[in-house]
């Protein structure tokens, strides 16, 4: 009796079948249907295994699929994929990580988060913060709710509060390069240049492809190298 794809080891034939299933949906842009079909045959663990495949197309497809289907167990493999030599793989891995972080709370918390980010985008900082507070009350382990509240605090120039929330994010999700970088920005605004440098360095160790953070780190290093007057 032939094994279903979900029962196979992630080998050469399984990887090719995965590509064949995904490709038509990518071409048409029907990602919801792609998630439905892939989810029936390949678990998150096998998609994570595909991130290490020798074939570039398989690694790219796996990262894309994890954007749709990945859960918290996919975070470490996706963080490892940020080091992939192919720019598209690490770009898709970054997208997948953000997608997982945004859906890592319970349903009510995710609804509050979505509403809060809408207000944040439109500059309604107080309302956004209220929604993030509700998300946190609903799910105190929802790291992204703290991260988005940290962004709201940063934009309101409440840098110490932003740092405190970034620390909460990292206590729950140590791989969160966004929170690490955000904490660096707040330290920089407070004149804590050594702390900012440390945060930027750690963010880039996790995700070495953030050009803006690399530029911020270079600027901080330049400030630190200036002789005292």
| Structural domain ending residue among the three candidates 78, 102, 126 | 102
Please check whether residues 72 and 111 belong to one and the same domain: no
- CATH code at position 51: 1.25.10.10
Please check whether residues 72 and 176 belong to one and the same domain: no
Please check whether residues 89 and 114 belong to one and the same domain: no
Please check whether residues 132 and 77 belong to one and the same domain: no
Best CA proximity match to 180, nearest among 193, 192, 168: 168
pLDDT tens profile 12-44: 468 888 888 888 887 787 878 888 888 888 888
Query: Does the reported pTM lie above 0.75?
Result: yes
Please check whether residues 90 and 113 belong to one and the same domain: no
Secondary structure string (H, E, C) spanning the chain: CCCCHHHCCCCHHHHHHHHHHHHHHHHHCCHHHHHHHHHHHCCHHHHHHHCCCCCHHHHHHHHHHHHHHCCHHHHHHHHHHCCCCCHHHHHHHHHHHHHHHHCCCCHHHHHHHHHHHHHHHCCCHHHHHHHHHHHHHHCCCCHHHHHHHHHHHHHCCCHHHHHHHHHHHHHHCCCCHHHHHHHHHHHHHCCCHHHHHHHHHHHHHHCCCCHHHHHHHHHHHHHHHCCCC
| pLDDT score at 29 | 79
Q: Percentage of residues in the chain with pLDDT exceeding 70? A: 93
In a domain, 170, yes or no: yes
| Structural domain ending residue among the three candidates 65, 86, 102 | 102
Please check whether residues 165 and 219 belong to one and the same domain: yes
| 127 CB burial (10 A radius; 0-12, 13-18, 19+) | middle
pLDDT tens profile 188-216: 999 999 999 999 999 999 999 999 999 99
In a domain, 6, yes or no: no
Q: Is residue 2 predicted with pLDDT exceeding 50?
A: no
What is the residue range of 143's domain? Answer: 107-225
Please check whether residues 112 and 199 belong to one and the same domain: yes
């Amino acid at each position: 009796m032939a094994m279903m794809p979900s029962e196979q080891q992630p080998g050469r034939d399984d990887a090719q079948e995965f590509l064949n299933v995904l490709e038509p949906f990518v071409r048409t842009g029907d990602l919801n249907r792609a998630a439905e079909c892939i989810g029936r045959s390949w678990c998150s663990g096998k998609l994570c295994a595909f991130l290490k495949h020798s074939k570039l197309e398989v690694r790219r497809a796996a990262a894309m699929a994890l954007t749709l289907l990945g859960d918290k167990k996919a975070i470490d493999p996706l963080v490892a994929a940020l080091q992939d030599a192919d720019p598209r793989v690490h770009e898709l891995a970054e997208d997948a990580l953000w997608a997982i972080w945004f859906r890592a709370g319970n349903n009510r918390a995710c609804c509050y988060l979505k509403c809060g980010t809408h207000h944040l985008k439109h500059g309604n900082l107080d309302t956004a913060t209220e929604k993030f507070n509700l998300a946190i009350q609903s799910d105190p382990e929802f790291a992204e709710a703290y991260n988005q509240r940290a962004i709201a605090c940063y934009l309101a120039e409440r840098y110490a509060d932003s740092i405190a929330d970034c620390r909460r994010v990292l206590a729950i999700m140590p791989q969160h390069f966004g929170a690490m970088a955000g904490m660096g920005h707040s330290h920089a605004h407070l004149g804590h240049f050594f702390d900012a440098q440390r945060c930027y360095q750690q963010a880039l160790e996790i995700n070495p492809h953030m050009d803006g953070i690399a530029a911020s780190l270079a600027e901080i290093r330049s400030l630190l190298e200036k002789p005292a007057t």
